[in-house]
């Protein structure tokens, strides 16, 4: 994998945008979902980590209408939670931890049930996130 500084930044920001305030295991599982998508060869994959993260409507933190998008655009290394997400991203890239998503490619938080998750059984749970590895 040819990783750029921008890939690492977008990877960490996606983890932060999707799971800040969550337990470490949930952050790690979100990171693994991103890597699983990258490695999947499926429609939700991409040719770079950035492409996977920025694919329209795949990670809500990047949606223009997401109320937290302003926070995502403004987060810097001064934010300790963002620094934690950078460490999670680096750890995921180096294989430092086991895949807490159980090879998941999709997730949602409790209290939200997207159409794609109806009648599906989560393969893993971390924090408030439910993970799925059975989405085509």
pLDDT tens string, the chain, 136 residues long: the values are: 788 999 999 999 999 999 999 999 999 999 999 999 999 988 888 899 999 999 999 999 999 999 999 999 999 999 999 999 999 999 999 999 999 999 999 999 999 999 999 999 999 999 999 999 988 8
pLDDT at 66: 93
Residue 68 covered by a domain: yes
What does pTM read for this prediction? 0.95
In CATH, what number is assigned to the domain containing residue 28?
A: 1.10.10.2520
Predicted pLDDT at 34: 98
Domain presence at residue 64: yes
Q: Is residue 126 part of a domain?
A: no
| Non-local CB neighbours of 3 within 8 Å, separated by 6+ positions | 49, 93
The neighbouring-strand residues paired with 125 are 130
Task: Kindly state the tokens that stand for 118.
Answer: 């109806």
Residues 62 and 39 sit within 8 Å (Cβ to Cβ): no
Task: Please check whether residue 37 lies inside any domain of the structure.
Answer: yes
| Number of structural domains in the chain | 1
88: helix, strand or coil: helix
- Domain encompassing residue 55: 5-100
18 in a domain, yes or no? yes
């Amino acid at each position: 994998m040819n990783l750029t500084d921008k890939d690492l930044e977008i990877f960490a920001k996606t983890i932060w945008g999707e799971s800040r305030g969550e337990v470490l295991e949930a952050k790690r599982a979100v990171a693994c979902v991103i890597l699983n998508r990258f490695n999947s060869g499926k429609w939700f994959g991409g040719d770079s980590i950035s492409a996977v993260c920025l694919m329209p409507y795949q990670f809500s933190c990047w949606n223009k209408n997401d109320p937290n998008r302003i926070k995502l655009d403004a987060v810097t290394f001064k934010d300790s939670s963002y620094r934690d997400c950078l460490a999670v991203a680096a750890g995921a890239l180096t294989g430092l931890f086991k895949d807490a998503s159980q090879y998941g490619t999709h997730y949602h938080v409790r209290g939200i049930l997207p159409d794609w998750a109806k009648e599906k059984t989560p393969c893993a749970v971390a924090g408030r996130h439910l993970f799925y590895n059975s989405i085509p």
